[in-house]
Structure 1
């Protein structure tokens, strides 16, 4: 069933943007490795990207609430396309170096934060509440296909042809996403008592804090953000060392590891399709609880296996849980957060999640020194804790 022309436009823009993200996932580290053999400098690409997204999330949330979101989405994607095309030209002619790549990554990370927040904030204005799960499921499915199945292998093939080829493709895709988003309806921000004060009467920081305070005061949305932050710790503990687990515990080579990741992504596609039906039967509260329990069981079972085939199946179940959780949490925020606060609340939630990912990464590395399977086991118990918290904290969440 169609969700309307406006959603089709937004879905298409997101799909193009996600394909560019998939290309970047492979091509940017490869480009860094072609410029230096220092592993610290190669890893610095991911570090710069993560730090920039964390630092700009809150101020970007303010601007998502201040401006017309369609305009922001169009501008962010067009600027991403232009900046990456400029980088591609420099690479093609042999100009610039690692510093230029770092600058480009910082620009891309900033604009991606703006585009992602604006896109999520637009969805409730073009989709009816009872269709939000389907809409977010379709967006999630497109993201999985682009990021996991199409983008990375295509990026590798293009890079083998020429270092600048995937970067030119990324720029074209982001620019195309911006142009496509021009077909979205233009909407004004809200004007209720939660709206931002007139520009200039407060600082960006004060406005960001106002959104964070709203999040802290709202029982359901605040609880979701807290559970999501803790779950991010549980997620990153095993995934930060998953490649080592695959090599040392499962005994698979690089190709086998790629197959495991591809199979795991299939679980996400199943979750994208199944979530609306599951939620319609169980309601949001018990769908969230069931998804967190599923994540817990899959990770605990993963910690005990030495079979690559079984590990792939368990990771597929785990990714299914993550997609179900993500769709439910996003749909609830879109339903419950006032339009004029959506950008700031999305940003505050994202900051909490990023902090959890950083903590989980450090803990995963430390636990792996004790035993390579310990991060999986610990992650499973973190998700079990999250499921108990969801039962208690979301008890006032009405069945939808």
Structure 2
């Protein structure tokens, strides 16, 4: 059995691997669209990259969950990152040799989406092995802070700077970072294959039987299932305004590209504050009250955003909104990590993620449609959706279902 000192060291290794991976993600956020723009000026083909990425993640979510529960999670995490590194380095070499093509870029981005799903699920499923139950929210807050710093503050500007030097430069760095994340994951102890229902897995067990077991457990658990339903509705509410946020900023707030970027940077600071705020707030108020307050805060921040035309006020409302999203995400993840049996964790994570991705897709479509009527309407509707989330959470996430923390 691992002692407290060793588990603390192992969690730091996991965080370090996550940091390297997130920095690569931040580079990709800027570099991949820039690479696409160097190959085509058709906005449909450039936007199609994000659509393919989302569809691939949705398609592989359930199979990835079964994989994470069937084999050693450390192996899944290491292999996913190493393969991402290999795939993107191959892409960089092709661009360096003048063999670039949009088809190749689409294929690489789809592969990255599938492997990111595997890495994310494995990492989330590993956290409870290295962190005490009472410290899960603090650990997830640390992971969230690392992700925000790498994804929002370091990765995008670094990616843009490197791209200006050479188109392939950020792609080579992405490959190196993902390879480093994979090698760091190999420093974690190898675990045994998870059992089924507390017993060893029967030979020749059906893949779909494994998948349906996880989905049935999720549907049958009031608290974890309730969190998943609220999360899907919150994802819908999130994408209502964010699908058209750039247009809202330009036409309603009157800011240029630089101003829009500054607003997004300020909003990311809100998320960073939320990463450190969640654990002490949860310790004082408990999970249920913290979740309800965070969802209500999300609603109020969107109402404020819908009513303002001042860029500074909009930045503060968005920062408050992102703060709420981080607090909600940390609480929901920590509860799922604590309450879901280890042998089902990957599949339940995938079921929850699938609902969230469906909510994001529906929110994007609805946000675009509402924006044709008025650009403030998706933002206002998002606030209404979060009021509904708060009410639904109050019903589904009742105090008697909450775990007791030491």
C-alpha distance in 2, partners of 1:361/1:125?
Answer: 36
**Shift of residue 64 of structure 1?**
0.2
Please give the alpha-carbon distance, in whole angstroms, between the structure 2 residues aligned to 1:220 and 1:134: 21
The partner residue of 2:226 within 223, 235, 252 is 223
2:103 matched residue in structure 1: 99
- The equivalent position to 2:82 in structure 1, one of 78, 82, 91, is 78
Distance in 1 (alpha carbons) for counterparts of 2:201 and 2:77:
23
Report the Cα offset of residue 397 of structure 1.
2.8
- Residue 205 of structure 2 aligns with which residue? 201
> In structure 2, the residue corresponding to 1:4 is in which secondary structure?
helix
Question: What is the CA–CA distance in structure 2 between the aligned matches of 1:320 and 1:147, rounded to whole Å?
Answer: 16
Contact 1:195 1:341 in 2 (8 A): no
Mapped to 1, the partners of 2:363 and 2:291 lie a distance apart of: 21
Equivalent of residue 275 in structure 2, options 272, 275, 278 = 272
Partners of 2:70 and 2:194 within 8 A in 1: no
How far the C-alpha of 1:159 sits from its partner, in A, is 0.6
What does the per-residue CA deviation read over 1:299-331, in whole Å, with 9 as the maximum and x for residues that have no partner? 011100000000000000000000000000000
CA distance in 2, matches of 1:30, 1:206: 42
Deviates more, 1:255-264 or 1:105-114: 105-114
Asked whether the 8 Å contact 2:72–2:194 carries over to 1, the reply is: no
Counterpart contact for 2:71–2:194, Cα < 8 Å: no
2:182 matched residue in structure 1: 178
Q: CA distance change for structure 1 residues 307 and 222 in 2, over 3 Å: closer, same or farther?
A: same
* 1:114 corresponding residue in structure 2: 118
Q: Please, which runs of 5 or more residues in structure 1 have no aligned partner? A: none
- Which residue among 17, 21, 36 is the counterpart of 2:21? 17
- Aligned residue among 246, 260, 264 for 2:263: 260
Shift of 1:192: 5.4
Residue of structure 2 equivalent to 1:247: 250
Query: Are 2:155 and 1:167 equivalent residues in the alignment?
Result: no
Q: Aligned pair 1:139/2:143, yes or no?
A: yes
1:350 alignment partner in structure 2: 353
In structure 1, the partner of 2:39 is: 35
The question of 1:370 aligning with 2:373 is answered yes
TM-score w.r.t. length of structure 1? 0.98
Following superposition, the deviation at residue 205 of structure 1 comes to 2.5
State the 4+ residue runs in structure 1 displaced beyond 6 angstroms. Answer: none
* C-alpha separation in 2, matches of 1:194 and 1:58: 21
| Greater Cα shift, 189-198 or 175-184 | 189-198
- Quick one: which of 338, 342, 350 aligns to 1:339? 342
The answer as to whether partners of 2:195 and 2:201 remain within 8 angstroms in 1 is: no
Distance 1:154-1:192 versus aligned 2 partners, 3 A rule: same
After superposition, the Cα gap between the structure-2 partners of 1:69 and 1:5, relative to the gap in structure 1 and judged at 3 Å, is same
TM-score normalised per structure 2: 0.96
Instruction: Say yes or no: does 1:158 pair with 2:167.
Output: no
Aligned length, in residue pairs: 399
Q: What is the aligned partner in structure 1 of residue 302 from structure 2?
A: 299
Contact kept? 1:195, 1:340, Cα under 8 Å: no
Asked if structure 1 preserves the Cα contact closer than 8 Å seen for 2:239 and 2:367, the reply is yes
Change (3 A) 1:83 1:196: farther
User: For residue 46 of structure 1, what is the aligned residue in structure 2?
Assistant: 50
Shift of 1:96: 3.4
Q: Judging changes above 3 Å, is the alpha-carbon distance between structure 1 residues 256 and 308 closer, same or farther for their aligned structure 2 residues?
A: same
Deviation (angstroms), 1:386:
0.5
Inter-partner Cα distance in structure 2 for 1:191 and 1:46: 36
SS of the residue corresponding to residue 388 of structure 2 reads: helix
Deviation at 1:38, TM superposition (A): 1.1
Residue of structure 1 in register with 2:389 after alignment: 386
2:229 touches 2:355 (CA, 8 Å); kept in 1? yes
CA contact (8 A) 2:80 2:119 kept: yes
Q: Provide the secondary structure at the position in 1 that maps to 2:372.
A: helix
For 1:288 and 1:174, how far apart are their aligned partners in 2? 33
- 1:193 offset after TM fit, Å? 2.3
In structure 2, how many angstroms separate the alpha carbons of the residues matched to 1:296 and 1:54? 27
Is the 8 Å Cα contact of residues 66 and 196 (structure 1) preserved in structure 2? Answer: no
